[in-house]
Amino acid sequence: MRLLIIEDDQKIARALKKGLEQESFVCDLAFDAEEGIGLAMTVDYDLIIIDRLLPGEIDGLGICRALRKKGKKVPILILTAKGQIKDRVEGLNAGADDYLVKPFAFEELLARVKALLRRPHNHLGTILKVGDLILDSLNFKVKRNNKEIDLTPTEFRLLEYLMRNPNRILSKENIIEHVWDYDADILPNTVEAFIRFLRNKIDKPFPGSSLIKTIRGFGYKISDKG
């Protein structure tokens, strides 16, 4: 799953990014409201974490209002040093889904993120199935034919992206955009390598039923159809 963190304190932002990526999320960073709104409007994020007190004319609540006005239903978690009830009410009224007061433990933030991702606005949910392949996106588990499969974080993100788009042809550019963050310098042959790694784990041990398919000249798709 891909998250956006909008936080002007770069030390905090990078610490959150590091912690969430260790939990197999892909994270993009924005350090001001303008950059954050630009990313949020153009990239299909699963959740956005926003610091309420951003420098400039638009604060975190302003970002919430702007996204909701444009019809963006992405879950939003507000981070703030303001912990009064009226401040929380104001945040929720602006369109935030949850509100976390600083300072906080990373474990609590992670729990809030997972709780928001369980909510119904995730149209495919958190348990994905293609044939006999099952992926649990919150507990980072993959099984095929009831056999657990061990994947690296990048392999997991790639498989999740494929399974969130079953029977759809995904170009290498699509895959790079959704599986790696903007800071990563990824080439098309890197995608080919990771597709091969995945096939060795989810297809090769199960002969007679290949799920990951190459569509020559276009990209890849996952399907249990022939």
Whether residue 151 sits in one domain with residue 60: no
Cα within 13 Å of Cα(4), Cβ side: 26
Q: What is the mean pLDDT of the chain?
A: 88
Whether residue 136 sits in one domain with residue 97: no
121 confidence band (pLDDT: 50, 70, 90): low
Q: What is the pLDDT of residue 129?
A: 92
Whether residue 134 sits in one domain with residue 103: no
Alpha-carbon gap, residue 5 to 3, rounded angstroms: 7
Whether residue 149 sits in one domain with residue 71: no
Which pTM does this prediction carry?
0.68
User: Is the confidence at residue 123, as pLDDT, over 60?
Assistant: no
- Domain closes at, from 117, 142, 159: 117
Q: What is the mean pLDDT of residues 24-38?
A: 92
Q: What CATH number has the domain bearing residue 41?
A: 3.40.50.2300
122 confidence band (pLDDT: 50, 70, 90): very low
Please give the torsion angle defined by the CA atoms of residues 183, 189, 193 and 196, in that order, rounded to the nearest 10 degrees.
Answer: 130
Whether residue 53 sits in one domain with residue 82: yes
Domain tally, the chain: 2
Whether residue 112 sits in one domain with residue 140: no
Residue 217 within a domain: yes
Residue 70 within a domain: yes
Question: Could you give the percent of the chain with pLDDT greater than 70?
Answer: 95
Whether residue 87 sits in one domain with residue 139: no
Q: What is the pLDDT of residue 177?
A: 80
Whether residue 83 sits in one domain with residue 12: yes
Q: pLDDT tens digits, residue range 152-180?
A: 988 998 999 999 889 999 999 888 888 88
The domain containing residue 145 runs over which residues? 127-222
Tokens of 24: 């197999």
